[in-house]
Amino acid sequence: MSRFLIQGGHPLSGELTPTGNKNAALPMLAAALLTDRPVTLRRVPDIADVRVMCELLAELGVEISRDGDTVRLHARHVDPDALSPEGCKRIRGSILLAGPLLARCGRIQLAPPGGDVIGRRRLDTHLHGLTEMGAELEMGPERLALSAAALRPANLLLDEASVTATENLVMAAAAIPGETVLYNAACEPHVQDVCRLLQSMGAEIDGIGTNRLVIRGCEALGGADVELGADYIEAASYLTAAAITGGSLRLKRVHNADVYQVIHRGFARLGCDWEVDGEDWVFAGRGAPKVADDLGGAIPKIEDGIWPAFPSDLMSILLVLATQAGGSVLFFEKLFESRMVWVDRLISMGARIVQCDPHRVLVSGPGPLSGSHQTSPDIRAGMALILAALCAKGESIIENAWMIDRGYEKVDERLRSLGARIERQENTPEILP
C-alpha cells in the first residue's frame, strides 16, 4: 500500500491535459465484448479501475494491448464462465459486463460488484431491464447469474436514471436486431460517449444526450476506433487546486459546451471562474474565492442531481473550495446517503462546517486549515482531502493512496508538475476507511 505526504501552502500553476473520462472508459472497454472485430479506444486513463477492468476482460479471453493512452481490444473468442468472483468484487464497473456478455454469449455469472462505499447502490434497474429483454435471473448472497436463449427488443421505463444501468441496457440493445426504447435514461457525457462508440460499431441510436434513447441494434456489430472525452471531474479537481492555493491554470483539450454549462455555474458561485479559449479552460486566479449570495443576501444552496444537475462526484471537491471562499453556502447531497460522512475529517483540519444531517452541510469560509493525518474513504473524498492538504498549513498524510489511484492517473506526479509538494510513500499498511 502507499500514502501521500503533502506540504501545504504552495501555489499551483501551469498547464495540464486531463485524461479521458474514467466513467466512460469502463463501459467502453466492456463494449468490446459485443464484437469479434478489433476495437481501439484512445485517451484511456491509466488508473487502477481501468487496469482491473482490463484484467477481467483478459480473463474472458479478450486480447488487450496498451500503447500510451491507446488501448486495443479484440474479443475473437469469449468464455463467460472464466470470470473470477474476486475480480468482480474489486470494482463497481464489473456489473457493466452483464449486458455485453448476455448479448454475446447468452449467459453471465457475477459476484456482487465492489466500488466506493457512498451509500446503497442498487442493481435493480439493471436486472429489471435485462429480464424485460428476456433474461432469466438467479440470485444468491455471493452470486448473480443471468441467462437468455436470445434477448429481445423492449420498451423500458427505468425506475431511476441510473448511469451504469443505462449503459448496460444500451450495450445489450445494440446487439439485438429490432428497436429498443429507453425512457428515463441517464444522459451524462460518459453515457453519450458509450452511445457514440456503439454507433461507430454499427448500431443506430437516436436521442443521445436526452432521457429517451431509441436503439436499433444489429446481429453483427463491427469494430471501431474512437477517443474518449475529457474527464471533467479530474479537470475540476485541478482547477480547485489552483483556486484554493492562489495559483492559475490552463487545462488543455477539455472544453465541452454541455459540461461547461453544468459545472461552471456551481464553481463560479464560489468565485472559481474560468474562461474558454478554444478547447482549453483558463483559470487566471484573480483574487480570493468568494461566495455569491442569493438575492436579498440569502445563503445559497448547492445541490446535486441527475444530469444536467450538478454532478454528485464533484460535491466533495466543491466542498473543499467552499472552506476557502468568503461567505456561507449549504450543500445538499441528494443521490447518496453516505457521500458526506467524511466531512468530519475536514472539521478536524479546522474547516468551519456544520453537518446538519447525513445529506446537508453548511460551510462558512474562509477558514485556515492545518495539516493532519487522514485516511481516504473513497475516490472523490480522497481527492478532496488532498486538496485540503494542499492549502493547509504544515504537513498532511493521506493514507490509502490506492483508493485515489482508482480514479486519478498519477495524481502525485501531475500535482508536482504544477508546483505541489507531494510525495508518495510505498509499503505502508492498509487502513480501512
Catalytic residues, by residue number, are 116
Q: Greatest CA span in the chain, whole angstroms?
A: 64
Question: Which DSSP helix (H) or strand (E) runs through 214?
Answer: strand 212-217
* Nearby residues of 391 by Cβ (< 8 Å), 6 or more positions away: 8, 9, 244, 245, 324, 369
Alpha-carbon span 250 to 398, nearest angstrom:
27
Alpha-carbon span 414 to 133, nearest angstrom:
44
Residue type, 432: L
* Nearby residues of 199 by Cβ (< 8 Å), 6 or more positions away: 205
Report residue 145 as a C-alpha cell: 447469474
**Of residues 383, 50, 397, the one with CA closest to residue 239:** 383
Alpha-carbon span 270 to 279, nearest angstrom:
24
Alpha-carbon span 396 to 360, nearest angstrom:
26
Alpha-carbon span 422 to 100, nearest angstrom:
41
Q: Are residues 221 and 34 in contact, defined by beta-carbon separation less than 8 angstroms?
A: yes
Alpha-carbon span 147 to 81, nearest angstrom:
12
Neighbours of 188 (CB within 10 A): 25
C-alpha distances in Å from residue 221, one per residue of 4, 40, 171, 319: 44, 14, 11, 44
**HSE-up of residue 103 (Cα within 13 Å, Cβ side):** 31
CA 217 to chain centre: 27
Q: Are residues 35 and 101 in contact, defined by beta-carbon separation less than 8 angstroms?
A: no
What count of residues does the chain have? 433
Sign of CA dihedral 237, 238, 239, 242: positive
Q: 25-59: string of b/e by CB count within 10 Å (b at 16+)?
A: bbbbbbbbbbbbbbbbbebbbebbbbebbbebbee
